[in-house]
Amino acid sequence: MASPSVLLRLDDVTLSFGARPLLEHVQLQIEETERVCLVGRNGEGKSSLLRLLAGMAMPDEGTVWIRPGVRVAYLVQDIGVEAEGSVESIVAGQAYDPCDADAWQLQDRTRLTLQRLGLDGTAAFATLSGGWRRRVLLARALVSEPQVLLLDEPTNHLDIEAIEWLEQLMLGFRGALLFVSHDRAFINRLATRIVELDRGALASWPGNYNRYAALKAEAN
């Protein structure tokens, strides 16, 4: 039985890429209001783990559990340079049907999210810089009002001002956050816990990156 504060969990999960195991019988749980940074060497499987939690992949063994009713949103690392359409259509992710009450609610949330993130809904997505495209895709993730937000290298293509803006936005996010980043300053300001992926195993460390590095050094 999961704790009432647990939003999602991996139970004894194994995932392989070809003959290489990315995850070997791992356990992980994310609780309400946590901001967890997933760290590890390139190619260890961090993006694959996020895809599991986003429901975009299935484990070879084990269970991915998400609390019923919990919405999970995922910001991928690839900014989708081939995407076409207006910023508003990209953020909404679907066409509006004026006869559908849910579509009207989505339209209202989309407009509010565009305003909050300083986006011009009429702009063509294909004409935007990498930083502004990432902001649009973040808006698309937020418009569903998720309880869990998964971010894969969210500071890619962002300048210092945009990174500071993202930090403040994420510090004000009321749900749980699981993110992958190589930006140590960003991790230090945001993370409440570090989860390290190393050769198929997960290890959890409390606090930000500096505390994780200190505790790991003591453990060794």
Query: How does pLDDT run across 28-54, given as a tens digit for each residue?
Result: 999 999 999 999 998 889 999 999 999
Interval 92-114: pLDDT, tens: 874 444 445 566 788 888 988 89
Q: Provide the 3-class DSSP secondary structure of residue 190.
A: helix
Strands 193-198 and 201-206: antiparallel
Indicate the pTM of the whole model. Answer: 0.85
Beta strands in 32-117 (DSSP E): 35-39, 61-66, 72-75
Compute the C-alpha angle 141/203/169, nearest 5°: 25
> What pLDDT does 95 receive?
43
Q: Is the pLDDT of residue 183 over 50?
A: yes
- Tokens 């407009």 appear where? 111
As a whole number of angstroms, the distance between CA 3 and CA 163 comes to 33
Residues 6+ apart with CB under 8 A from 220: none
Which amino acid type is present at position 93? Answer: G
CB of 90 closer than 8 Å to CB of 140: yes
- pLDDT digit string, tens, across residues 62-85: 999 999 999 999 988 776 555 678
